[in-house]
Structure 1
């Protein structure tokens, strides 16, 4: 698949780029440009306290300096990207100073580069379609029933794991074949970058929020999953093509969808206990027994990840509904899914004994 908007990207590369607004938004746009091999010439800002400072080795200048640059480089095309919330004010300043340039707000730039990298990423994902056709695999949850012993028995199987599975690595030689993380809490904190880099897996599937992280996007093993703009829990659907924008609900759902896209015909769940803390347990901070390791959830993460509107019964109902939709899709497409979890509350999928399938 050819990359979208290549000519448009080339236009950025041939222009002298100025980011107007040495802000967090400016830093985000900078990361985006750098991934495409485009280094802006300057940041510009109206705050005198920022003049002369540097953002990622790029100097911050005043609009007076920008005008001098324009007069000096009048034979070269200048593109100014407004990376500030004060878009109208900055536009007025540029017009008043008679600086002729291509002018665009940061959200337009983001749209262009998101589309460009979405097409590149889709081109990386599509060769995985049906690559493992007819094979079986195990989707590993992070519930309290998961044990190192069971994982040791899966060393020669195709396995998918997620999130903080690395907390069990010091107790087993097993490592997942594939890994996924679609948790906004993890993305926003950024503290798992080292784990992503060091994890030895064939493929890693991350939320596209990571696609401009310079430590991540250069890794060959990484594929980015593009989430749709708005998650509507009233309209649950199965994402049969992971190269396109997806409704991403929970990581286990995403791993199952990835496995079916890759051609696996028989999927076993292990450690998918489907246990959730109640509202009372969250308030009392009694949520450390819902995963295989008590270190799994930190108090500060709960405050970010669990909205004040969290409702235990609604969460369980939504999860069951999403699994039922998955089950119907898989049955319709002649795929099999079984629950090999030891215990737990998930009864949507047919139960099988883990020990018996390992012997096959």
Structure 2
């Protein structure tokens, strides 16, 4: 089941609601009953997701970090140098961890369908700080190594967040709220800002979905025999999606509005935001090649 709806079996729907309710209840600090290594159960203070994220504030102040997106340009890049860098990855980037011999420091998710179709894989991913929007929590059985962040979901035309003049917004306090920008990359930029990174370099941000953007309007599409060849061209791994999965065709105009705000926020604070993606279709961010970076 990709994103539960009225067709979801009632028992499964109850399980999903229970997981979602628990994650929401655990966003703030609270009290719980448990053994906590003791012989008998006891009442103890439980740290909420917000407090766990607050502990990351300015953790890497003054340092540089690398945001790794999922574009096809990654296939031709030697990323071995990232092993000793601060890195933020997203979505299916974990598919490269074994090949690289290392993992990103953070692994971020927001899209509901994207998270659900990868939920079983994610049970075996170890190493990165795994973070996802609160509304993704229904898809995970074991949430002990996850941090869920607060992000306003925008899934209807009547939702004021996207449609009534207040989009986009940029969060300086990721622990309290993370704003959407029609792409998970925008969330990664806000996380990098929250971590205190002053130089942020973006890789794999091709900002192009080829003919899919010509054939389909922005929104979700199912992966079918008719479009899977086009889908294979959109990411670093041709098996990134399978038949029956659902993917999002981006709203590029909305993305660029969000990116422009991110750049303005970084520059206003004396920070830099650099696009290292070869032949990227995103011209908003200053560009640099890996060779130029290595010469610095």
TM-score w.r.t. structure 2 length?
0.75
Higher relative contact order (CA 8 A, sep 6+): 2
Mapped partners of 2:215, 2:19: distance in 1: 41
Aligned to 1:232: 162
Seen in structure 2, the aligned counterparts of structure 1 residues 148 and 207 have a Cα distance that, compared at 3 Å, is farther
The answer on 1:259 being equivalent to 2:189 is no
Q: Secondary structure at the match of 2:151?
A: coil
Q: Which segments of 5 or more consecutive residues in structure 1 lack a partner in the other structure?
A: 1-21, 33-109
Q: Is the 8 A contact 1:138 1:158 kept in 2?
A: yes
The answer on 1:275 being equivalent to 2:208 is yes
Q: Secondary structure at the match of 1:28?
A: helix
Aligned to 1:205: 131
Q: Quote the RMSD (CA, aligned, Å).
A: 2.6
Q: Is the 8 A contact 1:207 1:224 kept in 2?
A: yes
Aligned to 1:55: none
Aligned to 2:231: 287
Q: Is the 8 A contact 1:227 1:245 kept in 2?
A: yes
- CA-CA distance at 1:114 after TM superposition: 5.9
Q: Is the 8 A contact 1:193 1:216 kept in 2?
A: no
| 1:1-360 equivalence runs, <5 A | 23-31=11-19, 110=21, 116-119=25-28, 120-147=48-75, 149-187=77-115, 190-211=116-137, 215-219=141-145, 222-230=146-154, 231-233=161-163, 234=165, 235-249=167-181, 250-276=183-209, 277-280=212-215, 284-285=226-227, 286-301=230-245, 304-306=246-248, 315-360=251-296
- CA-CA distance at 1:148 after TM superposition: 6.7
Mapped partners of 1:325, 1:236: distance in 2: 7
Question: Any idea what the Cα deviations from partners look like across 1:159-206, whole Å, max 9, x if unmatched?
Answer: 11111112323432232111111111133xx34234323323341111
Question: What is the count of residue pairs matched by the alignment?
Answer: 249
Mapped partners of 2:247, 2:26: distance in 1: 27
Mapped partners of 2:118, 2:108: distance in 1: 12
Q: Is the 8 A contact 1:148 1:168 kept in 2?
A: no
Q: Secondary structure at the match of 2:292?
A: helix
Mapped partners of 2:18, 2:24: distance in 1: 16
Question: Any idea what the Cα deviations from partners look like across 1:40-93, whole Å, max 9, x if unmatched?
Answer: xxxxxxxxxxxxxxxxxxxxxxxxxxxxxxxxxxxxxxxxxxxxxxxxxxxxxx
Mapped partners of 1:192, 1:210: distance in 2: 11
Question: Any idea what the Cα deviations from partners look like across 1:213-236, whole Å, max 9, x if unmatched?
Answer: 6633212xx211222144415421
- CA-CA distance at 1:328 after TM superposition: 0.6
Question: Any idea what the Cα deviations from partners look like across 1:334-360, whole Å, max 9, x if unmatched?
Answer: 111001111120110111111221344
Q: Is the 8 A contact 1:153 1:358 kept in 2?
A: no
Seen in structure 2, the aligned counterparts of structure 1 residues 114 and 156 have a Cα distance that, compared at 3 Å, is closer
Seen in structure 2, the aligned counterparts of structure 1 residues 30 and 348 have a Cα distance that, compared at 3 Å, is closer
